[in-house]
Amino acid sequence: MRNIINGNEAVAWAAMEMGLNYFSHYPGSPVNKIAPAIYELNSKYKGSVVFNDAINEHVATLSALGASLSGARSMVVMKHVGMNIAADPLNYIGYTGIRGGMLLVVGTDPGAQCSTGEEDPHWYLPQINLPLFEPTTISQIYYQTKEAFLLSEKYATAVVVFLPTRLCFNHDSLLTDESKIGQAQREFKFIKNPASYINVGAQCVANSKKLFAKMETISQDVFFGKEFFNANSAIGVITRGATFGHSYESILRLELSEKVHLLNIDMTYPLNEAKLLPFFANKKEVVVIEDQGGFLENSLKSLFYGKIQTAMEGKIFFTPYGEISFSSIYNFFADKFDIAIRQMGENLQAPHEIEVPERLGTFCEGCPHRASFYIIEKVLRAEQGDDRWVIGGDIGCSSLPPQRADWLLCMNAGVGISQGITAMASSQLVISTGGDASFFHAGISGIASAVHNKVDLLHLVFDNEYIAMTGHQASLSSNPKLDHEKLLYALGVDKLFTVDAFDLSSYEKKLKQLVHSRGVRVLWVKGACSKMLPAQAIKRREAFSPTINSSKCQDCTLCYRELQCPAIVKKTTNLPHFSIDLDRCKRCRVCKQVCPNGAISANVNWMKLAQALLAKDV
């Protein structure tokens, strides 16, 4: 079947056709769509994949290893920063080896296009010592994912696949084969192998030795890469990942195909010296073009140190940060070969520098986080009438603008950094925040540590029932078996309240109480993600039609500038100066509670409201 698919779906198709048995992940862009694609293919074509929506990457990786050691073909998916969380087990997978083919698929994000950071995870590879594939096109993702499974089983090693954002979001038409899904039959059994699986002391060192030998074998046996253009040229270009397409097209377009020899390396760790050496044979100069920190350039320089006469550079021409654009590569080639660029607009003036502010998005209409940050700031302002207060921030939807937290770094930076600040800067009022998914990811350890160390900590958990930013995977808090209050009290939390995010007066009251208490205090704020409640939202829509009353509105702008709900819009004519866009409004009624002049009325349709209340949908 020919489908238009993106990079994430190409991984899913390939894995399913290869008979994937076990899928484990922690969601994160740009690879957040692999899981839904595998769910869909598994359900549509009657696959038998066992899923593990793990609470963090550490658990996700170990469980995939467990499945592999039982003979299953397994895959674990995470984003670049997730590799930090998985780093501990990743350092042992090379020692244990695997049984069923095991793939670790990691989304990288040069330019931080869908992440808080653009960390370059390549540098983990020499440390964890696993083969690395870096496909460059959608069809290569598909075929190399399959190759990676075969390589994994042939050499009993997990294989890593890196997918940069650009490639994940690329689309192409691909011929897939659904008839292969669910066909492979495997027997699952854990077979004891203490020599490989017990990694302590001398045995660990012995396994480390074996791993180096295995990687040496792979580096001699395996090579994935492709050469283009003139092999006799004295100038070589080596690429990996997304920079290949930019380089290929630049060379064609500038008519340099006779002057340049291009090599794209798909398996960038370990490098095959024997296969690569001939490329350098007649080269005076080689330029390595790659995103981020020059991993390939460093690896090549290290591999061929003292063995070739070719001058090799990369990062002296291209930045080690951000995503390298097509234009910058095109201009590099034009400069290098002294070609006047024949752009269609060459007779035009240089483009104006128009500074359009970055549009980072914001909380959606009806988002519980908007209510939360409004209340937090209101309470802090009342309690500490200056800006000495501190709000600890966490990543995820609660980090979206209007950003009110004082820092945004990694998961659970709120609950962690706040502990140091509250210990050392005791005159400042500190409130740490984080989502429910973050809480279960590792925030729970932060709370336990605060209890153990008797830290004065006030932490808010925003429970919206989903991992919303990455596509609404269910959070552990949506599990009816979980009792967060019992859990937190069992950890030794001193004081705990659960509040409704949309009931502002109760929220404010409870938060004030906790501000005036001591010890480890948690405010669990419940309010489901507004994107996930269509049925309730429709009923609320029928029951309420909020409006701003012109005779009561004093233009205080609290609803517009402080609450910043996108459904409240500025009018160009007539009083009041603001109105509610009922097409956008989710009827959360937070603006009505915020208005100090009673100018926002809900306009209740009592019949519809009664029906909704009876159905418990409001």
Partner 1 sequence: MSLHYQPPFNIIITGIGGQGISRLTKSIWTLSQKSSFSVQGAIFKGGAQTLGSVYSTMRIFFSKTVDYEYYSSQILERELDLLIALEPYEALRFQRYFGPQTKIICSSQIAPIWIERHRPLLISDPIAVLRQLGRTLIVENFHQAAMEKYGDTRAAGEMMFARAREKGYFPWTI
Closest Cα to residue 615, out of 534, 528, 535? Answer: 535
Instruction: Give how far the C-alpha of residue 351 lies from the chain's centroid of Cα atoms, to the nearest Å.
Output: 34
Return the residue of 189, 352, 516, 616 that touches partner 1, per CB under 8 A.
352
Min dist. Cβ of residue 345 to partner 1 (A) = 4
Min dist. Cβ of residue 474 to partner 1 (A) = 16
The stretch among 134-142, 175-183, 266-274, 475-483 that binds partner 1 (CB under 8 A) is: 134-142
Return the residue of 163, 215, 287, 364 that touches partner 1, per CB under 8 A.
364
Does the footprint of partner 1 cover residue 360 (CB under 8 A)?
A: yes
Min dist. Cβ of residue 222 to partner 1 (A) = 23
Instruction: Give how far the C-alpha of residue 583 lies from the chain's centroid of Cα atoms, to the nearest Å.
Output: 31
Cα–Cα distances (Å) from 357 to 70, 354, 360, 400, in that order, read: 52, 9, 9, 15
Return the residue of 187, 338, 355, 386 that touches partner 1, per CB under 8 A.
355
Does the footprint of partner 1 cover residue 435 (CB under 8 A)?
A: no
Bridge partners, 392 (sequence order): 432
Does the footprint of partner 1 cover residue 469 (CB under 8 A)?
A: yes
The helix (H) or strand (E) run that includes residue 41 is: helix 34-44
Residue with tokens 């959608």: 138
Compute the Cα dihedral for 596, 598, 600, 605 and give only its sign. Answer: positive
Does the footprint of partner 1 cover residue 319 (CB under 8 A)?
A: no
* DSSP label at residue 115: S
Does the footprint of partner 1 cover residue 169 (CB under 8 A)?
A: yes
Residues 209-268 that bind partner 1 (CB under 8 A): 228-229, 242, 244-246, 248-250, 252-253, 255, 257
Size of residue set near partner 1 by CB under 8 A: 66
- Kindly tell me the burial class for residue 65, based on how many C-beta atoms sit within 10 Å of its own C-beta (0-12, 13-18, 19 or more): buried
Does the footprint of partner 1 cover residue 126 (CB under 8 A)?
A: no
Site string for partner 1, 569-588 (x = CB under 8 A): xx------------x-----
CA pair distance 569, 583, nearest whole angstrom: 12
- Tokens encoding 501: 């995010």
Q: Determine the Cα angle at 315 with ends 133 and 254, to 5°.
A: 85
Strand order in the sheet with 50-53: 50-53, 22-25, 74-79, 102-108, 159-164, 132-133, 267-269
Does the footprint of partner 1 cover residue 344 (CB under 8 A)?
A: yes
Residues 66-125 that bind partner 1 (CB under 8 A): 113-115
Residues 365-384 that bind partner 1 (CB under 8 A): 365
Does the footprint of partner 1 cover residue 340 (CB under 8 A)?
A: no
Does the footprint of partner 1 cover residue 614 (CB under 8 A)?
A: no
Min dist. Cβ of residue 174 to partner 1 (A) = 10
Min dist. Cβ of residue 111 to partner 1 (A) = 10
Does the footprint of partner 1 cover residue 537 (CB under 8 A)?
A: no
Number of neighbours of residue 267 by Cβ within 10 angstroms: 25
Does the footprint of partner 1 cover residue 400 (CB under 8 A)?
A: yes
Return the residue of 362, 473, 547, 611 that touches partner 1, per CB under 8 A.
362
The helix (H) or strand (E) run that includes residue 296 is: helix 295-303
- Tokens encoding 398: 């609660």
Q: Determine the Cα angle at 53 with ends 51 and 57, to 5°.
A: 120
Task: Answer yes or no: are the C-beta atoms of 132 and 104 closer than 8 Å.
Answer: no
Residues that bind partner 1 (CB under 8 A): 4, 6, 29, 113-115, 137-139, 165-166, 169-173, 228-229, 242, 244-246, 248-250, 252-253, 255, 257, 325-327, 330, 343-345, 347-348, 351-352, 354-362, 364-365, 397, 400-403, 468-469, 531, 560-561, 564, 566, 569-570, 583
